[in-house]
Amino acid sequence: IVGMPYAIPEMFNTDEMSGGTPYGATTIAGGDGSRQPSEAELTIARFQGKHVAEIAAKLAA
């Protein structure tokens, strides 16, 4: 299990409703698909993917 470090500022943006927790990337979506992931949520998800890949590479070395 790889959590999210507190180094990513998008997790602390209170100007808009968005997902993202120390446990991982999330998004807040309506049941009808009317809300798509925000740029902040996508940034958090990309950061998590890179972070997990870096940890996996260190473990494999």
Q: How do residues 15-49 score in pLDDT, each as one tens digit?
A: 887 788 888 888 888 789 888 888 999 999 999 99
Cα separation values, 37 from 20, 45, 46, 47, 55, Å: 11, 10, 12, 15, 25
Q: 13-16, long-range: CB within 8 Å, 24+ apart, which pairs?
A: 13/40, 16/40
Position 13 scores a pLDDT of 79
Evaluate whether 43 touches 8 at the Cβ level (below 8 Å). yes
**Residue 48 in tokens:** 């998590």
Position 52 scores a pLDDT of 95
DSSP letter at 24 equals B
**Residue 31 in tokens:** 């049941």
pLDDT at 57 over 80: yes
Position 3 scores a pLDDT of 82
